[in-house]
Amino acid sequence: MRSLLLSSLCALLIALQPVVAVWPIPKKFKTGNTTLFLHQNLEIKYNDNLTQYTFGYEAATFDSHDIVRAGVSRALSTLFGEQFVPWMLHKPGDKFEPDVNGNLKWIKMLEITQTGKDDSEKILKPKAGEVDESYNLTLSADGEVKLTAVSSIGVLRGLETFIQLFYQHSAGTFWYTPYAPVEIEDEPKFDHRGLLIDTSRHFFPVDHILRTIDALAWNKMNRLHFHVTDSQSWPLEIPSMPELHKKGAHHPAFTYSPTDVDRIFKYGAMRGVQVYFEIDMPGHIGSVALSHPELITAWNARPYDAYCAQPPCGNFKLNSTKVDEFVKRLFDDLFPRISKYTSYFHTGGDEIKYKAYTLDDTVKSDKEDVLKPLLQKFFDKSHKQVRDAKLTPIVWEESVEKYNLALEKDVIVQTWTGDGKVQNVTSKGYGVIDSNVNYWYLDCGRGQWVLFDNNEYARGWPFNDWCGPTKSWQRIYSHDPRANLTAEQAKLVLGGEVAAWSETIDPLNFDPLVWPRASAAGEALWSGNKLESGQNRSQLEVAPRLFEWRERMVARGIRAAPLTQLFCTQRSPEECLWENPN
């Protein structure tokens, strides 16, 4: 009886707790119920030095003060610009806003202390774990805000949390938090928290990529894996070989110039989102055939399914000095421009069908014992150049799982084909970035795009894609890349990435397919999907925050999809809980 009473009391307390939409949830998080207002001319100090909120300020240098000043300006511009009045989180008719007449309590000062000194090289392009992203944030009931972090990137993470505590008032230019006093301690569980975009199947303009970087930073995600080329198109301008994009782009305007590349990589670095390129090879490189046919085998070979995973096919020839010279020229052109801003380069290596090499005049074989040594040489040569440019090579899992190559142990392996792969790759001693298709492929479950003529119609029916069903936010959230690992293996997991392969994604539907489902992975990677006790975080706690976060991202201009009906966002989560009727 007593425990029943106690548990129903607990349930009542949870139900009465206000929605507190910090996403991802901090490691330690205490809130109160005092309301404080924020002035637009709030005084801000950084290490005992006054700093300014300047609308639209972009840092010109990577000096710590400049990174922080730009971060402060961005955070406050975002808050003052988003106009997030959270009516959709309250029942119609409920009075949820504070009174703005009378004596308001104001936030007095935002005091930022950076306890460490930024390493000027690493702050731009940290490898996993090289920059401390932790921060502490306190907001006292009488309006003192203290943000402490070791690095300037930690300051940026804390500023994002800070602004998520505030709402705009429907009466106009009032911003308030109902949650003071606040005490937060926070740090990420995983060092690598990313999104993969694919600009070969569809082109995404620079502005689209920049706003995606902003959204990643809001979600405390810190990597943008930029799968820039593939067999479908070559949008990347390589000044020493302009024929590549001139013949390989989908449209003359669909290219990334060196200025665009610099802008994207720098924009990310400034926000603590490291951008890195993937140029997938030796498969997935058919678009090079449009300008350099002599380098490519099986270009647009039919039936495609025999030679590659999807049309059009095209692999680098595997025993060709011309290919070696080309790759060298490509890397010599590209690496000096990107290595300022990134520590990684992904050389792909996935989905090679050996039959493609029966058409390769330098090999003419599909035998593993012939191809494996050639693949080994190909990977080793390209990785040597990656390392010579002071970049760390990343590859897809097939290289060590399927072709069984012996790669150096500095190579990071990206797993994707399903459960058990992280276990196997870490047990071989490689660092892992996990993009398990069963959870973290955002493109899955929306139907087939390959065509089936009448004679093959039955084979295609009912026209599902290969990796359905659609990954719901709950399923995405449930995935822990360290599941089932020994402590030793777990140490090798850097983190993960959600993937937005773009056969059927372009700038028109990108936002609703990526957001807020990528946010679900973002929290699983930053906060972990379990409580400290080891229990799974409850959907009753997680969902209201994610629903609120979706609304805030929409207010910021991201066309994030709704995850539930308004009836549910307006009420306590219990009202949309499934219960066993028996």
498: contact with ligand NAG by CB under 6 A: no
112 binds ligand NAG (CB under 6 A): no
Query: Should residue 376 be labelled a site residue for ligand NAG when binding is judged by CB under 6 A?
Result: no
User: How many Cβ atoms from other residues are within 10 Å of residue 354's Cβ?
Assistant: 17
Instruction: Report, in Å, the least distance between residue 247 CB and ligand NAG.
Output: 27
Is residue 135 helix, strand or coil? strand
**What is the rounded CA–CA span in Å between residue 30 and residue 21?**
13
Instruction: Name which of residues 193 to 222 contact ligand NAG (CB under 6 A).
Output: none
256 touches 242 (CB < 8 A): no
Q: Does 47 bind ligand NAG (CB under 6 A)?
A: yes
Catalytic option among 111, 130, 144, 351:
351
Task: Look up residue 76 and give its two tokens.
Answer: 């406050």
Among 533, 420, 537, 434, smallest CA distance to 477 is for 537
Contact range with ligand NAG by CB under 6 A, out of 133-141, 335-343, 375-383, 516-524: 133-141
Residue closer to ligand NAG by CB (options 483, 576) is 483
Using the contact rule CB under 6 A, the part of the chain among 100-108, 131-139, 305-313, 574-582 near ligand NAG is 131-139
Structure tokens at 539: 């959907």
Asked if 150 is part of the footprint of ligand NAG (rule: CB under 6 A), the reply reads: yes
Beta strands (DSSP E) in 271-430 are 274-279, 296-297, 315-316, 344-346, 392-396, 412-415
Phi, psi of 323 (to 5 degrees): -65, -45
Q: Which of 31, 78, 148, 199 binds ligand NAG (CB under 6 A)?
A: 148
Residue labelled with tokens 């990977």: 379
Q: In this chain, which of 324, 351, 419, 541 binds ligand NAG, going by CB under 6 A?
A: 419
Reduced to 3 states, what is the DSSP secondary structure of residue 434? strand
358 binds ligand NAG (CB under 6 A): no
* Residue 484 binds ligand NAG (CB under 6 A): yes
Give the Cα separation of 328 and 324 in Å (integer): 6
Minimum CB distance to ligand NAG, residue 472 (Å)? 12
Residue 135 interacts with ligand NAG (CB under 6 A)?
yes
Alpha-carbon distance values, 115 to 148, 152, 556 (Å):
7, 9, 31
List the beta bridge partners of residue 276.
225
Angle of CA points 500, 196, 242, to nearest 5°: 105
Interaction between residue 414 and ligand NAG (CB under 6 A) = no
Selected from 300, 310, 478, 504, the binder of ligand NAG by CB under 6 A is 478
Distance CA 559, CA 170 (A): 22
Residue 361, Cβ neighbours under 10 Å: how many?
Answer: 10
* Strand (E) or helix (H) holding 375: helix 368-388
Alpha carbon distance 363, 279 (integer Å): 23
Closer CB to ligand NAG, 149 or 281, in the complex: 149
Kindly state whether residue 65 participates in binding ligand NAG, applying the rule CB under 6 A: yes
DSSP symbol at 25: P
Element (H, E) at 276: strand 274-279
- 40 vs 404, which CB is nearer to ligand NAG? 404
The window from 92-100, 143-151, 189-197, 251-259 that contacts ligand NAG (CB under 6 A) reads 143-151
Q: Closest CB to ligand NAG among 43 and 185?
A: 185
Does 363 interact with ligand NAG (rule: CB under 6 A)?
A: yes
For ligand NAG, the closer of residues 33 and 173 by Cβ is 33
Check binding of 240 to ligand NAG (CB under 6 A). no
One-character DSSP codes across 506-549: -TTTHHHHHTTHHHHHHHHHHT-SB-TTSPBPPHHHHHHHHHHH
* Residue 149 binding ligand NAG, by CB under 6 A: yes
Task: Point out which span in 97-105, 206-214, 278-286, 476-484 binds ligand NAG (CB under 6 A).
Answer: 476-484
Q: Is 467 in the site for ligand NAG (CB under 6 A)?
A: no
Nearer to ligand NAG, 65 or 340 (CB): 65
Cα separation, 134 vs 191, in Å, equals 11
Q: Is 486 exposed, middle or buried (0-12, 13-18, 19+ CB in 10 A)?
A: exposed
Is 351 among the residues known to form the active site? yes
Q: Which residue in the set 88, 483, 540, 576 belongs to the binding site for ligand NAG (CB under 6 A)? A: 483
Among 61, 536, 567, 575, binds ligand NAG (CB under 6 A): 536
**What are the structure tokens assigned to 96, written together?**
């949820």
Among residues 88, 206, 370, 540, the one that binds ligand NAG under rule CB under 6 A: 370
By CB under 6 A, tell whether 421 contacts ligand NAG: yes
Which residues have a catalytic role annotated? 351
Residues at the interface with ligand NAG (CB under 6 A)? 33, 47, 49, 65, 115, 134-136, 148-150, 185, 319, 362-363, 370, 419-421, 424, 478, 483-484, 536
